[in-house]
Structure formats: structure tokens, C-alpha cells
Amino acid sequence: MPATLEQSFMKALFHGVIAEDMIFPFPETPKEERENVGVMLDTVRRFFNTNVDSKKIDQEHRIDESVLTGLKELGLFGLQIPQEHGGVGLSTHSYLRVMQEVAGRDTSVAVTLGAHQSIGLKALLLFGTADQKKRYLPALATGEKVAAFALTEPGAGSDAAGIKTHAELSPDGQSFILNGSKIWITNGGFADIFTVFARTSPAEEGKKPKITAFFVERGKGVTSGPSEHKLGIRGTSTTEIFFEDVVVPRENVIGEVGKGFKVAMEVLNNGRLGLAAGCVGLSQTLVKMAIERVQERRAFGRSIGDYGMIKDKIAGMLASLYALESMTYLTASMVDTKADYSIESAICKVMGSETLWSIVNETLQIAAGIGYMQDYPYERMLRDARINLIFEGTNEILRAFIALSGMAGPGKALVEVARAMREPIKGFGLLSDFAVRKARSMLGRERATRAHPLLSREAVIFEEYAGELASQTEALLRKHGRDIAEMQFAQRRIADEAIDLFGIAACLARTSRAIEKRGEEGARREIDLTTVFTAMAHKRLRQNASDYQKNDDELRKAVAVRAYQDGAYPFDLL
């Protein structure tokens, strides 16, 4: 079995292998840690109830300094920083639970904290040397210093190869001279330390640039532009950052020179999970608001909650949220056990942002007229939620990432098998392994043996479409080869199948644990939500499977190309 199958649940699934040991039993927080986090959550709730006015933050486009000071005093700027460096030292699971709580209370505060530690200082935790950690972490843990993540440029968002900011080695070799700018930097107006990505190789056409990550302190040559006016998360500081002949000591290189792309990807993998937890938190707040509203709003002499269409909305919201929460915390356990969670975190970000967007839209619809009025929080929450589909990788680029990362293993295996067939003696072991996997797929699909028998119907759906994912992956790779990188309609279908399969898997694992602990009646609500989510996912999986064979992809491409030529909608009935 390829090494990747032993390290990643989703990468294994693209091979048709259900790596159940990676998701069963569903992870539980140790009792002592659970109690400690419970105390912290109570403190956070009291602080927000007393000190945080979300309406004021939105209207004034800023978070009061007194609020930031209080957050620092609570230790919320150093949640994952080890205790030896002055932080709280939370596990990924516990960190996400605290960020979930914060995001459920105020999105601007959550994004400010997340920009500081989910991505701003994360490179230091993941790649920093002992000396770098000693120099920077204590002040970052207390919030004395605030961090920001500086990757995006006007021509370089998800495409890091487009980075223009550059750093040249000084003549004495002791430092780099940094020049360039970054846009849309959260915490940009007041951050003290920036994780900056810059070219350290000449710009040569046709050649991939060498990107290096640096810790850059605010000082001579580092300036911030004015705060951007935004649709939502208005309390956050979002600015452009300029670097003019900034001297960066060589010891402030993060990782290795020229290996900054790896640093950026690892940081964003982690940050996406924090974003997903934030989506869980705000979704929970919205579901509570929706349930309260359906019971107080009346039509035709009774509560609107009595009507079928409203019940359908509430059930769908609850089932999607249950799946998202299960996926997010299942992935957290993968982080803490050092598994490969890159695809899973991207899935959680896509699922989280789209679940939240659906829930906030439905909640505003349930609220009806008051949902549209600024005197009520619904419209602000809708505005705040929209950014999640864009930052830390747009959902479009992440769907391509999910598909292509998942297909990379099977693609490599097919190439190696083809090579081994030309040299059968040398490749005997590889061919044997491939033959065994093919024989297993021909004889029958992989089984989800650890799901509780009460979930057998849902487990069968998962098994069927896990096999579908693997077979379609192989078929697409055989048909398109390297051109699969350009086949974005197929990538989207593959990614959407992967998202739904991971959602079902997480629900199976979590609900199986609930049944084993509390019995069928004690776990009835988890069983019902798993059934509802799986039914919703099953419809999407069926549609995607059908669309591989029969679709209008080429027609849609042609329609778009013609519109580009027109430059607008081409009709007018006058």
C-alpha cells in the first residue's frame, strides 16, 4: 500500500481504500482538557456578554482597544502557543472549540484573533527554529505583539507564482533587502510582526520563482495603507502593506530559502480548519436565532414553525451543521496525531463556508422583514458570513485543490504501473500490489465495517460512492492524463463527491460512538441527523455520478466564450 494511504483518510479514499482506523473511534477530548476548556469557555462568554457590542463594532468599523486588551488578558492571543513560551498550549481540538465560541459571538473579533494565530504566527510554530520561537513567541502569546500573514498581492492570490515582492541578499550575506507590497492584510493596520512571502530568485519567464518566507518586524521601511471599507467583518483592520528597502536579518528566514511555498501551504492548511470552526460557531448562533424566530412569528393564526416548509429548512440546517461539526473535529484529531490532513482541511473550509452561507440565508428568510433591517443582527451576520467563501483560498480554487491532490496518488500509481509493465521483472511487486487492488475492486467494494449496524443503510451509501470516487478518478486519469489539470468541470464533480463522502464518514464515526455510549434511544437525535444529512448528500452524489457521462459542459464553455466576446448580456426585448 502506498505510504500516502497510511497517512491520509481522503487520499486513501481516492484509491478506493476506506482507512477506518483513521476515523474510528470518533475522537474524544480527555476529561481534564475538557474541564479546562469548559472553564475558559465560561470566561469567554462572560467577557463577551459584558464587553463586546457587535453592532457598535460594525458601525464604527473598529474593535475598541479595551476589548482587545481584555482578549489579551484572557490569553486568547496565545491559545496554541506552548506554555513554555507563555501561551495556553491548547491542542488543535480545544483551540478550535474556543475559536468556535468566539466566532459565534462576534465575527470581527474571531477574524482578528484567527489572523494573529491561525495564520499570522503559525509559520513560527510549524517551521520556526528554537531561537526564533524564543525571540518571538512570548510577546505574541500575551498579545504585546500582534501578527499578520502577508501573501496576497494584486496579481498573486492563490497563484503564488505571481508574487512580485522580492528580497535580495545583501552584499555581506547577512540580511535580505525586501521590496514590494501586499494587499488585503488582516490586522495590517496595527500588526507588529508579519509573515511575508517574497521572491528570492530573478523573475524569469517560464520559470517557477523561488519563494521564501520571512518574519518581518514593523519598523523602518514598513508602512500600512488606509483601512479598507468592506461589506462585512467591518471591525477588522484590512490594509495594504508596503515594504521599501526593508532590512530583514538572515536569521528571520522561516524554514529554508526558496522553500516558502511549502510554508504557505502548511499554514493555510491549518488556518482553513480554524475558519471552519468559526463557521460552526456562527452557524450555531444562527440556528438558535432561527428556532426562536419560528416560534415567535405567527401566520394564519399559528406559529410558522408548524408549517412543513419551515420544518424542512430547520431540519436541513441542523443536519448540515451536524456534519460540518463532525468533519471539523475529526480533522482536528488528524492534526494532533500528525496525519496528512491537507485535503480534509480544504474540505472543511469549503463545507463550512457554504453551510454557513446557506444557514444565514435561510435564517434571514425565516426572520422575514426584520431580517433586512439594520436594527436587527441578521443582515450584519449575512454580510459577515460572505467573506468565508473567499479568503484562505476561494472555494473554486480549493475544489481544484481537493480534486487534484486526491487524484495525484492514483495518477502516480497508474504511471508507475505503466512503467512496471515495460519492465515486469523489476516492477513485479508493484504490479502484484496493483493486481490485488484491482481484483478487490472487481470482486466487490470496500466495506465500512466499523459503522454501527443501526447505520447500515448510510454505510452502504458511503461504500457505494467511495467506490464510485475511485473508479471515476481512474477513468478520468486514463482519459485525460495530465490534461486533467484543465478539466475543471470534472474536478468540481470529484471534489463535491469527496466533500459529501467525508461528511458521511464523519457522521458515521461520530454517531457510532454516540450509539455505543448511550444506546439507540440515547443517540436518537444523532442517528436522525446522520440519516437526513446522508439523504441530502446521496442526492448530490447521484447527480454528480450521472453528470460524468451525460452533461452540457462543452455547451456551457461555448456560451461563456461567446459572452466574453459580447462583453455583456446580448439581448434586449425593445
Q: Looking at the annotation, which residues are catalytic?
A: 392
Residue 455 CB partners (closer than 8 Å, separation 6+): 508, 511, 512, 515, 527, 530
User: Would you say 351 and 533 are in contact if contact means Cβ atoms under 8 Å apart?
Assistant: no
Cα 187 to Cα 113: distance, rounded to the nearest angstrom: 9
Residue type, 464: E
Q: Which helix (H) or strand (E) holds 563?
A: helix 553-566
User: Hey, what's the cell of 502?
Assistant: 467525508
C-alpha cell at 374: 439594520
**How far, in Å, CA of 117 to CA of 483, rounded?**
38
Residue 357 CA from chain centroid, whole number: 14
The CA distance from 151 to 149, in Å, is: 6
Alpha helices in 211-341, H assignment, sequence order? 260-296, 308-336
Instruction: Please count the helices (runs of H) and the strands (runs of E) in the chain.
Output: 18, 10
User: DSSP label at 248?
Assistant: E
In angstroms, the CA 218 to CA 192 distance is 5
How far from 184 is each of 22, 278, 387, CA to CA, in Å?
37, 20, 12
Closest residue by Cα to residue 452 from 385, 526, 381, 400:
526
Contact 110, 157 (CB under 8 A): no
Joined together, the cell numbers standing for residue 50 give 459584558
Cα gap 195→210, rounded to integer Å: 16
